[in-house]
Structure formats: structure tokens, C-alpha cells
């Protein structure tokens, strides 16, 4: 794995590399072909057909229900008509000339974006919906600065919650409305037609959603005040025993509230952004099954959305009440009707805040059962937002939820791709929801158990991302009473399903009938005659397999797992008696079936098994870390998400369903957030999140039921409401700090005050600071303890502290690396425990990738002094000289910082240019007050004791001297070099390309002694793991990215420090007997488009070559500091989309700049230097030696040499173009 060079950061007193931020370009998330999701398989859909993905659905109606459900006809028709209208408008205005005005500079109010990134728009070919963000801060984030308009941001006003309807907010909202009107007018003028926004955003984002052609989107992106234009994409949709297992009842009844009254969410408004809601389901009735009569916080009879007579979308047929106090539809979703069109939204709403319902009946095709169910916060109010699943509609839903003043949002929606955290419209909207005081829970995703599968927006630090675990109830089925065959039949096999029993009956393997995977239509009627048919898992949806064998005449069905799914079982409601068994059990069963004849058995039928041993096991589908977007631990927590029973039904049908997915675990956390918020209304959303994290139950197991889960599986653990509301320490973070953590603006997410710590590049040591606030009513002593990761020593400073009520304490967590983790994450934790029983312990997980590297220092000052010029100063000459006649000595001063542990060795390395002397000696110098610009032979400090001698010196190479005895640790150290030989030694000084180096190795110090042993919260339910039958294979990486070549930079006047993993140094310019190698990055690069001849795209993150339209890319390099003639010059570019070869041409005119170049103003291209030849994605190298003749400025152009569009990373990415120049000896 490529690692950028270590640099010492004196402000942080640590070694670190530049932050490895990898911005992700988002596309619509459609699963790979034959990717299984839930009860069915789904595949890539044709472009332009929007689709939805539910959680892992159990099909209780026996329908052939593809999990990629098409939007209903009204929604599809509405979008189609809008697109037709757009196409007509484009055609009608084709003869109009586009405006040629140059884009003006924009001063962005927002720190989220600073310019419109248009790179993603260049691949668009069809009209569509585009989201446009404007520069003004949205309502939730406005802190003042627009004339005399008062701030509306809650923190700027000293409050916890946004009031969208107070005087300041109304005034600023009017200001934003006026600005949007101006922008829309300007955009219409630019593209030559009128524009009617589909959505307008004001609270979470400030912008609009528009129907545009790709060309129009590019034009609009160049307008003043437009800071982002993104094409709309689809997101996907990611309880009886659940609330009990997370101990919600202990807040309900007041036993875990610290003396405060118990609550069930009274007065809290939970917003559900999903597929709508079924208002007729008893889960959302005014009076719950426990007799609770809800109170409307808006006042009796006052509702929002379609239930508000003052709303243009008022629908008197939609039944709001004092529980369900509002519902919003959006025009591009279900025709604007908020009635649940899928069932998913009702399920998540019911899980988070649904009423107590006595005897909710689940009707499967062959089996029915009833359960008493309840949401986690059953007395909370609900507002539903039917926004799933285009980003434009979801952004509108987030915006409306902020304006409605909800307290909590559940968002069981996301993307399999990583976020562009600070630019995606939904993640930015949720940042501003947090600024408005709203707690947001979101699903981690259903792409597990592979690593790095947590998707968007679950990877953003201002949302609480949730993985899925089991709870204590299982819906079990058993294949038993087996007999026959030539070998001993297997013992009874326990599996899962929701079906009736069947048998005894013959058992056969579908592979013996032509299709072991049992695809629909594989078996003609009469193929079977009542047998129990065994099918292998894979390719086709699980419930389709049962339908397939039923169509062929089977009486029962056994689904045998494949190896990747191992022990992961699903309680599906099949259309015939069935049981789902593990991979190992399936192997044993099929081996038995392969012997002899007369195999029979019985499917027992579903039974409900409630046992602690069933619980707190990670679901195989739950997405895992590491976070692909930024350096934080994800997910944050886990909650029950397997076989969750809650409200269901679409189109007003009242029913209940059992569903699995992180869509089901997220509303458990949303409901938990509602309970904690009702208990502690003064806590911020970040503090609520930290309380859930630091008190979580950590004895969670991986999906195999045996291996302890790690933070990439479970986050901080499974939430536990028996202790979360009692948290004595909480961590807060501000919206301003979230914004400043943006790596593209120089920030570092590791510095956020989160209840976890991560560092993917912990070289030698790393550290974090966290600030905790006491929630307790008396002074308490807190003691720190550590669980150190493998190869790491953790230490907390201070290790003990006293906090008064409401007081805060900042702690520093240091990680001292003792061994390299070989690019693997290792995990530990710190725990803060009160000295008494005042509160539960607060545990924070730590995850690091470690490396052991040797710090290397360059001098901060060096100079030679001459006896024959006793008052002359030769500092800054580029050379250090040594001679005995006349006496010439050299002085060097190093500033050694960032060392951890005692010095074990120190080596001075000097690059010798020429020599006629045998060697030299290094001496101690006690006085560090000399300066490079002032030292002379007469005023030079006294030379002390000899340290060591160099031995023989060789020209053109480094010579090393052991100076360990003079280096005692961090601080300034001066050395003097002398020789007794009358020959002359000339070495390079710090101004040269090979400056002197001091390489210091340290020994790891003693293990810090913790002040106490961590005491985790005592669980109320201790899981007893079942014995596994098999585990799935560990996924392996299939490709490794090609690292960019390190960049050649000028030697700064202040000290530099690099790191080496061996005695050979890593230098920005490499020299040797054969010459030197220099690597330069562009000073300017840009693309120019023939169809946009007056537009500038200098800040685009890509370079492009194409011939239809003509698109060229210009690059400029400033070559300086070469130490000889050019032997070779190679242009290196990183191709992300490779279609056709391209040429590199000379450009004689260097007067262009990336901030102003357009197609019309671009300099002429000259002769072609060389072509790329056939290309593929990755680094491509082109020989340009004939053009690079020495120091100077050189411009190049990349030209299309074939039909097709190549996309190449620009300098605005981490893989920008490079010019590698080798010089001769």
C-alpha cells in the first residue's frame, strides 16, 4: 500500500501524512447482476428505470415480489411526462445561442463547497433532474452576515433547537426565497428558456431541483452563486422483541432514568423519511393498544402536509390524528400521495414510534401467528415523509422535516457507494438537521459481511449509523425424522422459515432434476410428486426457488446455503412448507442423499423460540467498516434488525410483516434517541449519540455466532437503554467543527469530538483529543483505563480527573506503536469509569492501522567556517566543506521533535559530492545560539568532545556517522564536523538536493500502567452463543491501487522531516551515480470544450480527451532545480475511464492559466510529441523527452486520438498528472 511521506507537524507534536481523503463520485446504486437481497434476487436495471430496494423482505403474501420494485404507475408517468416536457423545451430552444458570459468569482458562504464540480456532468447524455446548490447558508446554518438579518442557527443563538417560524427565521426564509427567484431567473436567461423548479430547498440545503439537459446543467454550473450541480440519483431502502432486547422498558417505567420520570416518547416528534405510511394501521391510531391517548404538540386539530387545509396538497381523505400529526408527499414519488406504496415506511415508523398493538397477526401463505408489538417510543408523535428514493425528493423531505420541527428522523435509506460527505445533498441536509437540533439515525447498509461496505450517508460523522444484530426471538423450523439411504441419516437439522409443517415425505436433490439452483420455470408440472426438494442458495431469489419447485409438483422445500452465506439464515414465508439450513448442514444433507435410496424426512413447521442465546449475533447482511469516505469508525452502533415484526401494507391495507435488514435496526435507534431526548431535552443530538455509543453492550458476536465482533461489525456495540439515559459523560460537537473537518479544505475528521477514535495511518504514534461533559449533579472522580490493540500501547492523559456538575474535561489519548500491523486494522478501547456507582462506565473504541518508521530530520541551520576568512559568513552556500589546511569546519543544528520513547540509535548522513580526504569526525556542540546567517570562524561556538568518525568517504554517495551518544531525545542539537586530513571534502548542505540527515530510532518505552481495570456495563441479558456449523470465507481484495509517485518540492527554509522504513532515506529527488530523478506536479491544468467555447473548467477534478465534441486538456509544469542534462522525461497521468488512445502535443505559449483558460482563449497546440498507445484504467506513461530540455516552464496538451471519451484525474485529486525527469550523471 502506498504511503505518503511522513511529515512532522509541530502544532500537533506528531508525525503524520497528508490526510488520505478519497472523494467519491456518486452514481445511482443498482446492485450487481445476481446479487441477492432479501427474499428475492435482483439485477442491473436498464438505464433510466428508477427502482427501489426494500430491506430484506419476507414475502408473507406469497407474491412473486421482485425486491427491485418499480415505482408505481403514477410516479413513473409523472417523471416520464416531465422528461418529455424537458426534451421538447430543449428542442424548441435549440436554435437559440447560449450566453457567452464568463463565470464570475463566487464567494461561497458555505464551507461545504467552494465551487461547482462539473466533472460528473460530462458523462451525462440524457435529460434528467439536477440538484443545484446556492452559496447562501440554509436556514439551519445561517449565522448572520446578510445585511441586518439576525442569525437563525441554534448554536449562534444559544439554543438547542431551530424555530423555523420565529421572526428571524421568517425574515431569512424570505431572503432565501428572493435569492432563489433571482437565481432561477438568471438560469433561465442563461439557457434561453423558463425554468420551474420541481423542489425548492431552504432549511437543510439552499437550492432547487430542476429538469435540465446535461448541456444546460453545465451552463448553470458556471453561473455566479451556484456552488454545486449534481444529477439526481436513486437511493435504496436499506417489533415485538426488539424494544425489550434493547431494554426500552427501563426508560418506559423509570427504572433507568436516574430519578427522572419515565417516558415512552411523549412530546417527541419522530420524522420518518421513507415510502410513506399507512394511516389506517392501528400502530398509528390516536389511542394505542395500551390505552394511551396521544396529545398533538401542534394543538388539537393542527396538522402538517396533506392533513393541513392550508396546504395546496391538502387531502381530506388522508386520516391524520393526534398520533400521526402530518404526512408529506412529493410530486416525483407516488404522485405526491404519502400513503405507503411499499410497506417499508409503515414498518420503520411502527418500529421507531408505533403504538402498542395487542395481537398483531402475521399471515404467511401456509402459516399465521400473532404477537403483541410496540415501537421503541410508542407515545411519540409521527410525521411521515414519502420521499424515497431519488435524492431530489429525499432532500426535499429532509428540508421539510427541519421546517416542521421534528426532534428525531429515521432514514432507513442509503447507497452502497461511499459518500462525498461534504457535498452530497442528503448528507449536507442531515448536517444542517443536526445543526437544527435533530437526532438522525440511518441504516449502515445491507451489503455485509464484507469489509468496507458501509454506504452513504451512514459514513457521515453527524448521523448515527446502525448495523443489525439478532434479538432473542427466532422463528425456527426443523428438518427431522430422516431415514433411508445407505449411510446414517443426519440428526435433526434446525433452520428458519415461516411455514407450516409437512411430511414424512421423500427428500430429493434438485440437482438430480437439472437445476440445483431452482430458477423459476426450471421444472415442468409433474416433475415432482409431493417430494421435499433440496435447492442450493444463489442466483435466484430465495422465495422464487420455493415457487419453482411448487410449480413442479413439490410438497416441501429445503434451501441449503452456499458457502459465502455460511450460517446466515432467513425466516422467509415461503409458498409451501420449507426450511432454510446452513451451508454445513446442507453439505451433510446432500452427502446423505447421494448414498442409497429411499430418503425421507419431515418439516416440523415454524415454532417461536425465545432464548437469550439467540441474541446479539451480527446479521450476515449488515454492512461493515472500514469507512471508505473518511477516517472514522463506522457503523456507530448496532440494534436488532433480524425478523422484526411491525406494521406493513401498501395502499391502505392493514397488515403486519416480519422483515430483516438494517432498515429495521435503524428505527430501533431512532426510537431510542426519542426516549433519551425526552429524558434529557437539554442534550444535543451529538450528546445523545455519544450516550448510546459509550454505554453500548459489547459482548456481540460475529455472524458465525462464536467470534467476538469488532468495531467494524458492531460499532461501539448494541444499544442498551438500561444505561444510556444514565450516561454520566457525553461528547458534543459543533456544526462549525463538522464543516472545518472537511479534508478538501485542510481539515481532519479524526479531530472531531466523536465517541470513538480511528487512524488509518498511525506511524510510530498517533493521538486524539476528546472533551467530555459531566451530566451528573455532583462532583465525581473519573478514572481512565485502556484495552490496547495488538502492537500498540494506549495511554490516557490525565488518567484521573474530577468533574463538577456540568463541567468539561479534555483528555488526550496517545497510541504508541510497538509493531507494524501490516495494513490491517487492530482494535482496542479506552474506558472512563466513575470511582463510585454514580453512572455507567463510558467506553470508546479505538481502531488503527499501524506502522513502525524511522524519523529523519534535516538541519534547521548549517554552515562552514574558514580560518583564512575568520570573519566571513558562508551560510546558505549550498555546500559544507571540511579541510585541515586551512582549517575549515562545518556546523549543523537539528530540531528533533516528535520522538516517542528513548533514543536507541542516531545516525548522521552526509551526501559527499567530492572528496580528497580520508574522512571526518563529528563533535558535540553545547551552544545552540549560533545562526546560519551569522556564524563565522571567529564567533563559532566551541567544539566539544568527539563523538565518532566517518571512516573513508566516497564521492557521489552518503557517508554515515554514529552520533547516538549526542542525541538524548527531543530538542535542539548542534554538531561540528572537522577533519585532520589536508584533503578537501565537499558535501551538500541543507540547501542542496541531498541535504544532511539525522536518522533517529527509538525504543518503545514501558507499558503504561492503567489506573484501573475497565468495568463494562453489566448486561441485562447475557447471550450464550450457539455452536456454529460453519463459517463463511474471509473476503480478499482483488486489486491494489497503483500509488502516485512522490512529488518533488522545493526545499523549504524551515526543517522538513520524512520517515523511512529502513536506513535508506525517502527523498523528493533521488540521486545516485547514474543521475537524479525529479517528479513535478502541474502548476495549472484544465479542460476546454468546443461546445462550451467561453466556459472555464479549471477547477474540475478530471481531465478529458474527446473528439465529439472536441475536448482538450492542458497541463503546465514548472521544471526547476535539475542537477544535470535531461536523460529522460515521462508524463504520467491516472486514467479513470479508458476508451481510446490519446496524443500529447507541444504547447509553446505558457501564458494561459487554469482559472481563465477557455476553448476560445486556449493557446495553439504544436507538434505531437508521442501517443499513449492502447490504454487501460490506472497510471499511463508517455515519453516526452524530446520536449523537456532542462529547467523552465513547459505546457502540454492531451488530444483525442480515436473515438471515445477518456477521463483522467486532474491536479484537484490525489492522483494528479506528474512529470518525471531523470538527469544524466
Go through 317-354 and write b for each residue having 16 or more CB atoms within 10 A of its CB, e for each that does not.
ebbbbbbbbbbbbbbbbbbbbbbbbbbbbbbbbbbbbb
Helix (H, G, I), strand (E, B), or coil: what is residue 750? helix
C-alpha cell recorded at residue 156: 449562534
Bridge partner residues of 921 (DSSP)? 949, 978
Packing angle, helices 425-435 and 391-404, rounded to 10: 10
Which helix (H) or strand (E) segment holds residue 358: the answer is strand 357-363
Concerning whether 923 is annotated as a catalytic residue, the answer is no
Query: Scanning the structure block, which residue is given the C-alpha cell 476560445?
Result: 1160
Contact of 124 with 231, CB cutoff 8 Å = yes
Single out the catalytic residue among 113, 117, 342, 344.
344
**Peptide bond preceding 626 in cis form (omega within 30 of 0):** yes
The Cα–Cα gap between 1021 and 1225 comes to 73
Task: Give the integer Cα–Cα distance in Å for 39 and 724.
Answer: 35
At residue 5, the 3 state secondary structure works out as: coil
**CA–CA distance from 626 to each of 4, 31, 400 (Å)?**
20, 20, 32
Q: Please give the torsion angle defined by the CA atoms of residues 1027, 1033, 1037 and 1038, in that order, rounded to the nearest 10 degrees.
A: -170
Q: CA–CA separation, 812 vs 770, rounded Å?
A: 7
C-alpha span between 1112 and 1198 (Å, rounded):
6
Q: Closest by alpha carbon to 692, among 1013, 899, 466, 377?
A: 466
Three-state secondary structure readout of 819-876: CCCCCCEEEEEEEEEECCCCCCCEEEEEEEEEECCEEEECCCEEEEEECCECCCCCCC
The rounded distance, in Å, linking the Cα atoms of 32 and 360 is: 36
Cα–Cα dist 485/91, whole Å: 72
Give the C-alpha distances (Å, rounded to integers) separating 482 from 460, 487, 584, 792: 51, 11, 17, 53
List the catalytic residue out of 228, 443, 500, 663: 663
Question: How far does Cα 1190 stand from its chain's mean position?
Answer: 44
Q: Residue 442: which of 986, 291, 431 has the closest Cα?
A: 431
Note if 344 is an active site residue. yes
1085 given a catalytic annotation: no
Which residues, including other chains, have CB under 8 Å from residue 758's CB and lie 6 or more apart?
626, 627, 631, 632, 633, 750, 846, 847, 848
Query: In the numeric block, which cell numbers belong to residue 430?
Result: 442531515
What is d(CA 1106, CA 1207) in angstroms, rounded to the nearest whole number?
A: 9
Beta strands at 381-386 and 269-274: parallel, antiparallel or unpaired:
parallel
Are 814 and 770 in contact by the 8 Å Cβ rule? The answer is: no
And the C-alpha cell for 824? 490491517
User: Could you tell me the sign of the dihedral formed by the alpha carbons of 753, 757, 760, 764, in that order?
Assistant: positive
> Residue 175 is inside which H or E element, if any?
helix 167-191
Instruction: Choose, from 113, 117, 274, 472, the residue flagged as catalytic.
Output: 274
The answer to whether the beta carbons of residues 974 and 925 sit under 8 Å apart is yes
Phi, psi of 446 (to 5 degrees): -115, 35
> Which residue carries 391517548 as its cell?
293
Distance between CA 426 and CA 393 in Å, rounded?
10
For residues 129 and 232, is the Cβ–Cβ distance under 8 A?
Answer: yes
Q: What would the DSSP string read from start to end of 761-804? A: EEESEEEEEEEEEE-SSS-EEEEEEEEPPTTEEEEEESSEEEE-
Residue 1124: strand, helix, or coil: coil
Would you please indicate which residues are annotated as catalytic (active-site) residues? 274, 344, 663
Amino acid at each position: 500500500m502506498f504511503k505518503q511521506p511522513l511529515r512532522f507537524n509541530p502544532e500537533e507534536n506528531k508525525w503524520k501524512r497528508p490526510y488520505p481523503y478519497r472523494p467519491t463520485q456518486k452514481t445511482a446504486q443498482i446492485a450487481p447482476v445476481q446479487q441477492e437481497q432479501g427474499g428475492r434476487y435482483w439485477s442491473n436495471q436498464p438505464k433510466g428505470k428508477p427502482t427501489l430496494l426494500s430491506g430484506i423482505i419476507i414475502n408473507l403474501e406469497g407474491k412473486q415480489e421482485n425486491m427491485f420494485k418499480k415505482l408505481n404507475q403514477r410516479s413513473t408517468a409523472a417523471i416520464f411526462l416531465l422528461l418529455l416536457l424537458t426534451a421538447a423545451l430543449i428542442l424548441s430552444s435549440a436554435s437559440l445561442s447560449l450566453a457567452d458570459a464568463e463565470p464570475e468569482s463566487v464567494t461561497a458562504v458555505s464551507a461545504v463547497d467552494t465551487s461547482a464540480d462539473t466533472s460528473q456532468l460530462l458523462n451525462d447524455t440524457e435529460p434528467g433532474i439536477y440538484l443545484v446548490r446556492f452559496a447562501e447558508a440554509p436556514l439551519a446554518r445561517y449565522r448572520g452576515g446578510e445585511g441586518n438579518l439576525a442569525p437563525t442557527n441554534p448554536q449562534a443563538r444559544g439554543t438547542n433547537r431551530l424555530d423555523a417560524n420565529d421572526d428571524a427565521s421568517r425574515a431569512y426564509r424570505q431572503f432565501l426565497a428572493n435569492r432563489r427567484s433571482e437565481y432561477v431567473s438568471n438560469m433561465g436567461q442563461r439557457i434561453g428558456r423558463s425554468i420551474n423548479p420541481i423542489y425548492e430547498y431552504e432549511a437543510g440545503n439552499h437550492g432547487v431541483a430542476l429538469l435540465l439537459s446535461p448541456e444546460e446543467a453545465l451552463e448553470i454550473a458556471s453561473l455566479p452563486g451556484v456552488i454545486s450541480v449534481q444529477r439526481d440519483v436513486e437511493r435504496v431502502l436499506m417489533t415485538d422483541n426488539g424494544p425489550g432486547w434493547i431494554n426500552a422498558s427501563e426508560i418506559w417505567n423509570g427504572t433507568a432514568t436516574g430519578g427522572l420520570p419515565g417516558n415512552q416518547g411523549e412530546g417527541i416528534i419522530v420524522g420518518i423519511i421513507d415510502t410513506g405510511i399507512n394511516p389506517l394501521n392501528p400502530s398509528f391510531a390516536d389511542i394505542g393498544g395500551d390505552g394511551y391517548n396521544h396529545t398533538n404538540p401542534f394543538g388539537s386539530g393542527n396538522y402538517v402536509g396533506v392533513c393541513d387545509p392550508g396546504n395546496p396538497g391538502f387531502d381530506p381523505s388522508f386520516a391524520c390524528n393526534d398520533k400521526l400529526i402530518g404526512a408529506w408527499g412529493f410530486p416525483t414519488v407516488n404522485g405526491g400521495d404519502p400513503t405507503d406504496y411499499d410497506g417499508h415506511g409503515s414498518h420503520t415508523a411502527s418500529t421507531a414510534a408505533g403504538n402498542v398493538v395487542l395481537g398483531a397477526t402475521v399471515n404467511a401463505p401456509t402459516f399465521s401467528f400473532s404477537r403483541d408489538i410496540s415501537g421503541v417510543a410508542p407515545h411519540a408523535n409521527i410525521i411521515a415523509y414519502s420521499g424515497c428514493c431519488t435524492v431530489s425528493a429525499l432532500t426535499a423531505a429532509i428540508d421539510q422535516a427541519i421546517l416542521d420541527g421534528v426532534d428525531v428522523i429515521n432514514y432507513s435509506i442509503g447507497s452502497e457507494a461511499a459518500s462525498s460527505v461534504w457535498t452530497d445533498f442528503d448528507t449536507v441536509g442531515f448536517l444542517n438537521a443536526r445543526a437544527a437540533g435533530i437526532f438522525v439515525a440511518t441504516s449502515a447498509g445491507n451489503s455485509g459481511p464484507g469489509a468496507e461496505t458501509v454506504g452513504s450517508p451512514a459514513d457521515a460523522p453527524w448521523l448515527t449509523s446502525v448495523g443489525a444484530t439478532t434479538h432473542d426471538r427466532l422463528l425456527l423450523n426443523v428438518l427431522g425424522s430422516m431415514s433411508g439411504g445407505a449411510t446414517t441419516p443426519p440428526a435433526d437439522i434446525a433452520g428458519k422459515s415461516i411455514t407450516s409443517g409437512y411430511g414424512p415425505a421423500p427428500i430429493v436433490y434438485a440437482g438430480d432434476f437439472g437445476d440445483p439452483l431452482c430458477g423459476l420455470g426450471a421444472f415442468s408440472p409433474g416433475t415432482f410428486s409431493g417430494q421435499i426438494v433440496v435447492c442450493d442458495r444463489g442466483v435466484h431469489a430465495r422465495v422464487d426457488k420455493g415457487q419453482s419447485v411448487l410449480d413442479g409438483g413439490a410438497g416441501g422445500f429445503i434451501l441449503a446455503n452456499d458457502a459465502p452465506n455460511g450460517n446466515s439464515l432467513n425466516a422467509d414465508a415461503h409458498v409451501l412448507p420449507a426450511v432454510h439450513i446452513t451451508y454445513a448442514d446442507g453439505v451433510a444433507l446432500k452427502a446423505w442423499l447421494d448414498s442409497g435410496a429411499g430418503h425421507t424426512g419431515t418439516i416440523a413447521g415454524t415454532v417461536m423460540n425465545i432464548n437469550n442465546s439467540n441474541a446479539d449475533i451480527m446479521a450476515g447482511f449488515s454492512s461493515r467498516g472500514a469507512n471508505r469516505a473518511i477516517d472514522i469508525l463506522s457503523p456507530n452502533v448496532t440494534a436488532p434488525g433480524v425478523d422484526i415484526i411491525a406494521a406493513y401494507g401498501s395502499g391502505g391495507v392493514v397488515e403486519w410483516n416480519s422483515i430483516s435488514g438494517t432498515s429495521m435496526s435503524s428505527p430501533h435507534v431512532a426510537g431510542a434517541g426519542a426516549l433519551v431526548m425526552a429524558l434529557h431535552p437539554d442534550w444535543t443530538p451529538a450528546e445523545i449519540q455519544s450516550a448510546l455509543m459509550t454505554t453500548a453492550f459489547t459482548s456481540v458476536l460475529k455472524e458465525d455466532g462464536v467470534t467476538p465482533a469488532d468495531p467494524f461489525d458492531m460499532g461501539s456495540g448494541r444499544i442498551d437503554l438500561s444505561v444510556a439515559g444514565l450516561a454520566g459523560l457525553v461528547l458534543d460537537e459543533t456544526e462549525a467543527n463538522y464543516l472545518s473537518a472537511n479534508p478538501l479544505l485542510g481539515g481532519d475528521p479524526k479531530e472531531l469530538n466523536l465517541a470513538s477514535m480511528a487512524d488509518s495511518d498511525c506511524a510510530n504514534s498517533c493521538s486524539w483529543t476528546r472533551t467530555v461533559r459531566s451530566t451528573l449533579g455532583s462532583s465525581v472522580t473519573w478514572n481512565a483505563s485502556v484495552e490496547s490493540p495488538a502492537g500498540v500501547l494506549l495511554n490516557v492523559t490525565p488518567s484521573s480527573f474530577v468533574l463538577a456538575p456540568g463541567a468539561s474535561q479534555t483528555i488526550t489519548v496517545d497510541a504508541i506503536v510497538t509493531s507494524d500491523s501490516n495494513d490491517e486494522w487492530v482494535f482496542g478501547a479506552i474506558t472512563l469509569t466513575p470511582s463510585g456507582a454514580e453512572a455507567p462506565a463510558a467506553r470508546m473504541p479505538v481502531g488503527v492501522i499501524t506502522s513502525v518508521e524511522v524519523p529523519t530530520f534535516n538541519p534547521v541551520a548549517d554552515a562552514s567556517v574558514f580560518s583564512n576568512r575568520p570573519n566571513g559568513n558562508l551560510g546558505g552556500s549550498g555546500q559544507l566543506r571540511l579541510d585541515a589546511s586551512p582549517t575549515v569546519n562545518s556546523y549543523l543544528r537539528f530540531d528533533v521533535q516528535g520522538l516517542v520513547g528513548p533514543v536507541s540509535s542516531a545516525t548522521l548522513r552526509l551526501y559527499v559530492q567530492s572528496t580528497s580526504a580520508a574522512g571526518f569526525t563529528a563533535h558535540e556542540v553545547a551552544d545552540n545560539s549560533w545562526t546560519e546567517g551569522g556564524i563565522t570562524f571567529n564567533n563559532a561556538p566551541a567544539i566539544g568532545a568527539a563523538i565518532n568518525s566517518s571512516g573513508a568517504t566516497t564521492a557521489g554517495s552518503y557517508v554515515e556517522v554514529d552520533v547516538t551518544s549526542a542525541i538524548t531525545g527531543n530538542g535542539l542539537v548542534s554538531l561540528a564536523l572537522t577533519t585532520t586530513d589536508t584533503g578537501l571534502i565537499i558535501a551538500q548542505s541543507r540547501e542542496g538536493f541531498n541535504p544532511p540527515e539525522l536518522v533517529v530510532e527509538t525504543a518503545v518505552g514501558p507499558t503504561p500502567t492503567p489506573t484501573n481495570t475497565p468495568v463494562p456495563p453489566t448486561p441485562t441479558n447475557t447471550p450464550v452463543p450457539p455452536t456454529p456449523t460453519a463459517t463463511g470465507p474471509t473476503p480478499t481484495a482483488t486489486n491494489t491501487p497503483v500509488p502516485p509517485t512522490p512529488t518533488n518540492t522545493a526545499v523549504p527554509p524551515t526543517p522538513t522531516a520524512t520517515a523511512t522504513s529502513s536506513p535508506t532515506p525517502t527523498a523528493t529527488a533521488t540521486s545516485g551515480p547514474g543521475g537524479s530523478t525529479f517528479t513535478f506536479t502541474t502548476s495549472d491544468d484544465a479542460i476546454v470544450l468546443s461546445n462550451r467555447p467561453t466556459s472555464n473548467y479549471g477547477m474540475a477534478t478530471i481531465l478529458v480527451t474527446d473528439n465529439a465534441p472536441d475536448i482538450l486538456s492542458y497541463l503546465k509544469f514548472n521544471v526547476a532545480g535539475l542537477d544535470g542534462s535531461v536523460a529522460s522525461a515521462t508524463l504520467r497521468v491516472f486514467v479513470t475511464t479508458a476508451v481510446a488512445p490519446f496524443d500529447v502535443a507541444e504547447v509553446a505559449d505558457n501564458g494561459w492559466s487554469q482559472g481563465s483558460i477557455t476553448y476560445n482563449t486556449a493557446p495553439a497546440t504544436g507538434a505531437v510529441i508521442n501517443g499513449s498507445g492502447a490504454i487501460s484504467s490506472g497510471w499511463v506513461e508517455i515519453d516526452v523527452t524530446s520536449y523537456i530540455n532542462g529547467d523552465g516552464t513547459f505546457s502540454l496538451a492531451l488530444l483525442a486520438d480515436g473515438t471515445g471519451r477518456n477521463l483522467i484525474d486532474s491536479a484537484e485529486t490525489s492522483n494528479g498528472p506528474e512529470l518525471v525527469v531523470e538527469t544524466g550523471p
